[in-house]
Amino acid sequence: MRVIGILFILLSMPVAIMWLRAFPKQRKWAYFGVGALPFAIAALNLDAALVSWPAWTGYAKGLILTALDTLAIALIVVSRQPLRRLPFLALFLCYFLAAVVSMAVSALPMSSSFYAFQLARIALVFVAVASFAGNRNALRWLAFGLATGAIFQAAITIDQRFSGVVQASGTMGHQNLLGLMLHFVTLPLIALLLGGERSKLVMAGVLAALVAVALGASRGAVAFVAIGAAALILLSLARRATSQKWKMVGLAAVALAIVAPIIVTSFDERFEKKPIYEGTDSERLAFERAARAMWSDHPMGVGANQYVVVANSGGYSERAGVIWNYASRSAKVHNMYLLAAAETGWPGLITLIFLFLWPLLRGLAFAFGNRSDPRGEIVLGAAVAIFATALHGFYEWVFFTSYAQYVFAISAGIIAGSIRQARIEKEIRRRVRRAAGEVPTPVTARAKPRRALVRPGNSATR
């Protein structure tokens, strides 16, 4: 069965390439698939492992390919110059190289290579999204895919809740992972609605994402979705206030009124089962002490995908006071920055910070520098989603899973592709104006004055 799965995934790539080339008008379904697949891969088993370590305690458990990877490759193949003048590509490459370098210090380089391979797959999704993100209609179909993924997860979480699950996780395995992933759905879709999108599917996607987050009862997910939504609305109004946006603010208040009781009920049931003072906050501090000690002893890291093994074999968890049970000793530090520092050292930490910071700054600059560009709204939403995740990362590590990185790559691709397309369009307009004589051709050098025809001392009238 494993061989059949590998063949299915590998053969899906040439099939997708032929389909996209033969029916270019149907590429909208590929864009839709890119948005929906991160939320469907685990449920539908749309992946295959070339090498599999299912019992490994890290977040990358093998050399794994998914249907989204092959779809991304197909979109890149049928695109024209997908890598040309692409923002942020160097950042993805630097972070990939940091993971590769960490293999040299890893006790098990093979397991660290799993994460490097994962980052290569994430970069493919980023390039694929950037290749079509400059097209407004393509972005709309991508948003439809994200909305459908959120609706699917909301349906699963509702079913889980009726089955007695207090913290519903959908098909993602943990409520914290689902909650973090939904940052990249809720905020870009809200941005589209603020920009004038009237699709009922997008509206349903926002409401479904909020319901799924509420049923997950994750404090971090709820808090940072709320922070991100408030920041997005304020920034969007500052960018360009319209009557449509004020109407959407009213609808947001209605959605909050619908979701608030679900949030309150979810937290009541969660803390009734496990009171807050018996929670894991003290453990989080113990994990952080262990990670800081590991980073102090290994400035270049201990190797990507190695934290749990080294924390236990090196005695870091014991000295930091981490509880002696399987759940605690097999957990990662709940801080993605400390996890990056402990595993990949200074190179990994610095590149990870810039991987968040630079797209965020460029996205804000594009949104406010192009106030009349409709793409600015979804770019703003993607940038705020990255901002919310960057804050959430101080309390969570699950960004290192491939599913969370897929949706991050989608938002980064939206920003990068929109920036590149706007630059291309600006250059085309400049060339058209120049050809029409509206813009003078720049003078590269001043004309030298002509020499006098008569030498000094001679008279022209002589």
In the prediction, which pLDDT does 455 show? Answer: 43
Q: Is the pLDDT of residue 402 over 60?
A: yes
Contact assessment for residue 9 and residue 65, using Cβ atoms and an 8 Å cutoff = yes
Q: Is the pLDDT of residue 387 over 80?
A: yes
C-alpha distance from residue 144 to each of 33, 359, 412 (Å): 9, 23, 18
Q: Which of 187, 205, 217 is nearest to 32 (CA)?
A: 205
Q: Is the pLDDT of residue 287 over 90?
A: yes
> With bands split at pLDDT 50, 70 and 90, how would you rate the model's confidence at 301?
very high
3-state secondary structure of 57: coil
**274: DSSP letter:** S
Average pLDDT over the chain, rounded to whole?
A: 89
Residues 27-51 have a mean pLDDT of 95
Residues 186-202 have a mean pLDDT of 93
In the prediction, which pLDDT does 181 show? Answer: 97
> With bands split at pLDDT 50, 70 and 90, how would you rate the model's confidence at 273?
low
3-state secondary structure of 1: coil
Q: Is the pLDDT of residue 54 over 80?
A: yes
* Single-letter amino acid, residue 243: S
Q: Which of 85-94, 142-151, 316-325 has the lowest mean pLDDT?
A: 316-325
Which neighbouring-strand residues pair with 65?
48
Per cent of the chain over pLDDT 70 is: 91
In the prediction, which pLDDT does 28 show? Answer: 97
Q: Which of 93, 3, 86 is nearest to 48 (CA)?
A: 3
Task: Please report which helix (H) or strand (E) contains residue 66, including its range.
Answer: strand 62-66
Q: Which two tokens stand for residue 278?
A: 């018996």
- Collect all residues with Cβ–Cβ distance below 8 Å to 171 and sequence separation of at least 6: 39, 40, 42, 43, 152, 153, 156
The residue that leads in pLDDT, 436 or 366, is 366
Give how far the C-alpha of residue 185 lies from the chain's centroid of Cα atoms, to the nearest Å: 10
**Residue 380 to residue 237: CA distance in whole angstroms:** 11
Q: Is the pLDDT of residue 187 over 60?
A: yes
**Residue 256 to residue 372: CA distance in whole angstroms:** 29
Token pair 């006790």: residue: 107
Residues 213-220 have a mean pLDDT of 87
Which neighbouring-strand residues pair with 279?
none
- Collect all residues with Cβ–Cβ distance below 8 Å to 197 and sequence separation of at least 6: 140, 143
Domain boundaries, the chain: 2-430
In the prediction, which pLDDT does 254 show? Answer: 80
Residues 166-183 have a mean pLDDT of 92
The residue that leads in pLDDT, 10 or 406, is 406
Q: Which of 348, 328, 325 is nearest to 338 (CA)?
A: 348
**Residue 431 to residue 29: CA distance in whole angstroms:** 34
In the prediction, which pLDDT does 278 show? Answer: 45
Q: Is the pLDDT of residue 106 over 90?
A: yes
Q: Which of 99, 92, 79 is nearest to 123 (CA)?
A: 92
> With bands split at pLDDT 50, 70 and 90, how would you rate the model's confidence at 348?
very high
In the prediction, which pLDDT does 445 show? Answer: 47
Contact assessment for residue 381 and residue 231, using Cβ atoms and an 8 Å cutoff = no
Token pair 């889980």: residue: 160
Contact assessment for residue 157 and residue 216, using Cβ atoms and an 8 Å cutoff = yes
